Amino acid sequence: MMRSRAIGFALVAFMVCLGSFAQDFACHDKDGKTVPDNDHQKTRDGFGAMMTFTDDEKVFENWQKPEQPKIRNVSTAQRGVPVHVLVIFANPGRDAKGESDVTYDAKALKPDGSVYGEFKDLEALKGEGAPSMYLQLAPAAMAIRIEPEDPAGVYTVEIVVHDNVRKVELKLKDTFTVEK
């Protein structure tokens, strides 16, 4: 529960930082203090990305609605219920045609460190996209379904987000727990 609140706060802080077009790009909290990068949220050279986990099957549908989406974050996975790894980003670089090219690689690791699943070059944005100040949700998401025979413990997800126009790479990492 505490982690959900922290990620909810991080999402709000992330929204604040990505509305800025300053050359020295940084996130700021409600008091104007710079929010440092962390494992699951980073900014560099004007581009920002974060990852979070949800078990909400309607998250992509809800993202398209005009009101601000509410993301139900999870830190514990239930067996048989998919955990969607969400990649949220903003302010991607644009080429001479005004188009962006954002992709990402995703890898899930079991508690023993072995690979549970891996994907390369998932598309986050190709083309014009939303205005730079808007948060964008990558339409391709890794979904992890823990089966009854899978081990309990802490699973790690590593994401590398590529802004292929700016030549920026952001390495993100987060964990969720599977109980017995």
Superfamily classification of domain 2-178: Immunoglobulins (2.60.40.10)
The pLDDT value given to residue 118: 95
Mean pLDDT of the region 114-125? 95
pTM of the predicted model as reported, rounded to 2 decimal places: 0.82
132 pLDDT above the threshold of 70: no
Distance between CA 155 and CA 137 in Å, rounded?
A: 23
Q: How many CA atoms lie within 13 A of 31 on its CB side?
A: 2
Residue listed under structure tokens 């080429």: 95
CA-angle at 42, arms to 36 and 45, nearest 5°: 100
C-alpha span between 23 and 44 (Å, rounded):
11
Predicted confidence (pLDDT) per residue in 17-59, tens digit: 544 433 334 566 677 777 789 999 999 998 999 999 999 989 9
How far, in whole angstroms, is CA 108 from its chain's centroid? 14
In the chain, DSSP finds a helix count (H) and a strand count (E) of 2, 12
For the stretch 142-153, pLDDT in tens is 999 999 999 999
Distance of CA 147 to the CA centre of its chain: 24
CB contact at 8 A, 47 and 163: yes
Residues 6+ apart with CB under 8 A from 141: 60, 84, 85, 86, 87, 122
Pair of tokens at residue 127 = 């083309």
Query: Is residue 77 a contact partner of residue 176, using CB atoms and an 8 Å limit?
Result: yes
Specify the pLDDT at position 162.
98
pLDDT of residue 11: 47
Contact 88, 104 (CB under 8 A): no
Q: Where are the domains of the chain?
A: 2-178
Report residue 158: phi and psi, to 5°.
-115, 130
